[in-house]
Amino acid sequence: MAELQEHERLRGKKALFVLGVGLGYQVTAIQQRKDPRARVYAIERYEEVFHRAARTQNWDLQSSPDVEFWVGRDIDSVLKHLDEITAGMDESDWDIITNRPSIRLDPEYYKRLIRERRPNARRRRSPRT
What's the domain count of the chain? 1
Q: Please report whether residue 49 resides in a domain.
A: yes
Strand partners, 42: 18, 69
How many angstroms separate the CA atoms of 30 and 75, rounded? 23
Residue 129 pLDDT exceeds 60: no
Q: Write down the pLDDT at residue 117.
A: 78
How many angstroms separate the CA atoms of 71 and 44, rounded? 5
Question: Domain range holding 114?
Answer: 2-124
Q: Write down the pLDDT at residue 9.
A: 81
CATH number, residue 60: 3.40.50.150
Q: Write down the pLDDT at residue 128.
A: 47
Provide the pLDDT confidence category of residue 3 given band limits of 50, 70 and 90: low
Q: What is the pLDDT of residues 18-62, one digit of tens each?
A: 999 999 999 999 999 999 999 999 999 999 999 999 999 988 876
